[in-house]
Structure 1
Amino acid sequence: MLDAATPLLLWLALTAPPTAIPTPALPLLQPEVVQRLIDPPRCLAAQCVNGEWQRGAMVSIPAGQRRIDANDLPGSGSRLRLSGNRPDWVKAQGSNARVGMQYGVQAVQTKDTSLKMSVDTGYRMKGYADDGIAGTGPILRGQVEWQQTLSKRTRLSQTTRLETGQRGTYLRNSLQVKTQLLPALTFSSGVEVSRDSNLVGRNKTDATMNLRYAF
């Protein structure tokens, strides 16, 4: 049974202000923790302790194998490279007629044969120039250069250029044979063909014969 004082105690407990109710004291942080929060540790750079990253300290490579170095990692070169150790290049092209970027590759390079191929993307600012189309605007160009030794004194060469854009397509193909008659005398003959899909008046075929003497 509840006595007469019980309702009074319940009323005091419900209406008393929060400060009147004792609260447990919060624990203080340790000095080491406070110092770590104020001055956190810094990350240290990795260091080679026992010379593991030095070539002289590496384990010897078995016979028939080679060591992998930085040149074998992806992105280690500044130029584009194709398989088979074929030299290639990327270079900017610019003149008063056109601007663009060229990518080329030396596809074949032997004692008797040479084959180069290149592709250009750019913008033509002046027509009828640099083996190009009649109009201006974005263009795509391609070129193939082939040289073949036929004999000790005779060499065959062919150059094909093709450009296409908003104003048609222009093609120029040149075939030439050079023969060294004497150490200072060279005879050359060739045929050159030009075709413009948008301007028939530029279509022509020329044959040339030259005798050159070096003084």
Structure 2
Amino acid sequence: MLGAIGLALLGAPLVTLPNPAFGGDPILIAIASDPAQMRLYCFSTRCGDEEWKLAMARRQRAPEIDPADLPPLRKVELPGQQRVIGGVSAPATSRESRSMYSNDYRIGTRYGVQAVRDGPTQIGLQFGAGYRLAPLYDDGINRPGAVFRGELNLGQRIGDRARFTQSVQVESGRGDTFVKQSVRLDVEVWQNWKLETDFAIRHDNNGGGGSESAESSIELIRRF
């Protein structure tokens, strides 16, 4: 800034002012008649336009940089911008199911709901109505006719290797009622080896007379 002021003073044209009256002192008259004598001396190492020359010299010596040669800017994520789970998604499954079925011994419809399915304990319920075409082909009453069916399933995981399952099936129609209770325990013994145990009790009132049977099985299964 001081250099710019000095350039302005040095480059300004000399103006001859009328001699004011200073009581006739020749020294004062000489100073007043020549304003250039009133300029301040420059005691700086940079006078005039020296700083502009240095800046231009640095700019000429600095190499030109191609923006394409610069490394790409790294994107910085602020706290809270990170996604907790990224790139992973699972389709949601319904807790309810509806279906119609037909086979060689029964036709009908059923409705199912998974009351508890998340976690080690699971509870499921199914019920529906149908018509039995032939008896004794599956678990149910022993004569044809309209029937009502229901099923309750309970599952419990025990540790990382075992699972306990219990189910109760009921079919009723034409005055007969059939009930089946089964208990199952599956244990992972070794890698690709599973021990399966099953115990079932069947009860059929058979028009008031009734019959009951039980069976059990133990199997060691290897998966390939």
What are the residue-to-residue correspondences of 1:33-182 with 2, within 5 Å?
87-182=95-190
Match of 1:213 in 2: 222
SS state of the match for residue 199, structure 2? strand
**Which amino acid is the alignment partner of residue 213 of structure 1?**
R
2:180 & 2:105 partners in 1: Cα distance?
Answer: 17
> Residues 100 and 108 of structure 2 are in contact (CA less than 8 Å); yes or no, is this contact kept in structure 1?
yes
State the superposition RMSD in angstroms: 1.9
1:149 & 1:105 partners in 2: Cα distance?
Answer: 20
| TM-fit CA distance, 1:214 | 2.1
* Identity level (%): 24
> Residues 203 and 210 of structure 2 are in contact (CA less than 8 Å); yes or no, is this contact kept in structure 1?
no
Give aligned pairs, total.
131
2:134 & 2:205 partners in 1: Cα distance?
Answer: 17
Match of 1:204 in 2: 213
SS state of the match for residue 203, structure 1? strand
2:145 & 2:171 partners in 1: Cα distance?
Answer: 12
The C-alpha deviation readout for 1:132-167, integer Å capped at 9, x for no partner, is: 100111100001122110111010011221100005
> Residues 97 and 113 of structure 2 are in contact (CA less than 8 Å); yes or no, is this contact kept in structure 1?
yes
> Residues 133 and 167 of structure 1 are in contact (CA less than 8 Å); yes or no, is this contact kept in structure 2?
no
Match of 2:201 in 1: 193
Unaligned runs of 5+ in 2: 1-92
2:141 & 2:112 partners in 1: Cα distance?
Answer: 21
**Which amino acid is the alignment partner of residue 105 of structure 2?**
A
1:185 & 1:201 partners in 2: Cα distance?
Answer: 40
The alignment's TM-score, normalised by the length of structure 1, stands at 0.57
Match of 1:39 in 2: none
> Residues 136 and 167 of structure 1 are in contact (CA less than 8 Å); yes or no, is this contact kept in structure 2?
no
> Residues 135 and 167 of structure 1 are in contact (CA less than 8 Å); yes or no, is this contact kept in structure 2?
no
1:202 & 1:210 partners in 2: Cα distance?
Answer: 27
| TM-fit CA distance, 1:86 | 6.7
The alignment's TM-score, normalised by the length of structure 2, stands at 0.55
The C-alpha deviation readout for 1:102-154, integer Å capped at 9, x for no partner, is: 11111111121221101110111111122110011110000112211011101
Unaligned runs of 5+ in 1: 1-84
Match of 2:76 in 1: none
SS state of the match for residue 180, structure 2? strand
1:124 & 1:184 partners in 2: Cα distance?
Answer: 40
